[in-house]
Structure 1
């Protein structure tokens, strides 16, 4: 089963990274990916701090992000899945292992928290999270299953806290 998943992951990654526009796509993907580095979360928290829903948001987002961070670090050490090999890579990943995607997990935690507290912003928040997850594949640092697992982890953490 794991071999089938690996073949499927490599087939999708190869398709995503082996076209003549991959350098142009990587420029856009890099910007999107960096929006999930964590700095934007601090800016969002500060901005949300000026709203009436600040307490509700922070009381959900802070523990959710802490649990997600600890969980994804632990899972990376348990699975120890290497990042894609022999494919174009457009950024330097922050660590050696790829499963699950921490950027995807964090983005989906924040999107879920925003959607819960500010339902009118749900579509924008989840679109942003999906773009971050896709950018990680398009940059060559994650497989599609890594970002699906990361997104699932982020959603599950917030769901369990609600």
Structure 2
């Protein structure tokens, strides 16, 4: 038997699907679709691994501690993200609304809540804002594009992206508070 999402998601789906459809419609333009796909791919892991690996170069003797902090924070966030995703079971918009919302990128699973890509983008932006704010002019636009790509590719609802951003923010703030 297929797991059932909470009823609140049924109501949210009905409220959000038209906005998701409008945003996803822009992906009909090839250059924009390519941009969304690139942002999504970068949000998978390459940029964040590079950012973690760059910590010793960016911060000298404190760099290895920051490398460990970033890695541990991201891993703990993944554990919570996975627990939420597998327990709440909100189906992706392209599954729920079929022909009305087209999936433009292969999904790893059938559930959308929360957006892990957005969670990591916000998490790393907040950590970077604290430790290396000079990198933000590059990271913030990328994080925004990653968030937009998730909806634009038909993989997430806006509330999935907002929830992912909130979780990423909370983990980063907690990490910074614990690290002192």
Aligned counterpart, 1:63: 72
Aligned counterpart, 1:153: 167
- Structure 1 gaps, min length 5: none
Aligned counterpart, 2:49: 42
- Structure 2 gaps, min length 5: 1-7
Structure 1 position 29, deviation (Å)? 0.2
- Going from structure 1 to structure 2, the CA distance change for 1:160 and 1:19 (only over 3 Å counts) comes to closer
Q: Distance in 2 between matches of 1:133 and 1:22?
A: 18
Higher mean alpha-carbon deviation, 11-20 vs 98-107, is at 11-20
- RMSD across aligned positions (CA): 1.9
Structure 1 position 22, deviation (Å)? 4.1
Structure 1 position 50, deviation (Å)? 1.6
Structure 1 position 23, deviation (Å)? 4.0
Q: Distance in 1 between matches of 2:92 and 2:151?
A: 10
Structure 1 position 123, deviation (Å)? 4.1
SS in 2 for 1:99: coil
Higher mean alpha-carbon deviation, 36-45 vs 88-97, is at 36-45
> Whose helix fraction is larger, Structure 1's or Structure 2's?
2
Q: 1:83 aligns with which of 92, 95, 99?
A: 92
Equivalent residue pairs, number: 162
Q: Is the 8 A contact 1:101 1:147 kept in 2?
A: yes
SS in 1 for 2:54: helix
User: Is 1:32 the counterpart of 2:39 in the alignment?
Assistant: yes
TM-score by length of 2: 0.81
Q: Distance in 2 between matches of 1:141 and 1:156?
A: 23
SS in 1 for 2:168: helix
Q: Distance in 2 between matches of 1:20 and 1:103?
A: 18
Question: Equivalences for 1:1-162 in 2 at 5 Å?
Answer: 2-19=9-26, 21-51=28-58, 52=60, 53-85=62-94, 86=98, 87-162=101-176
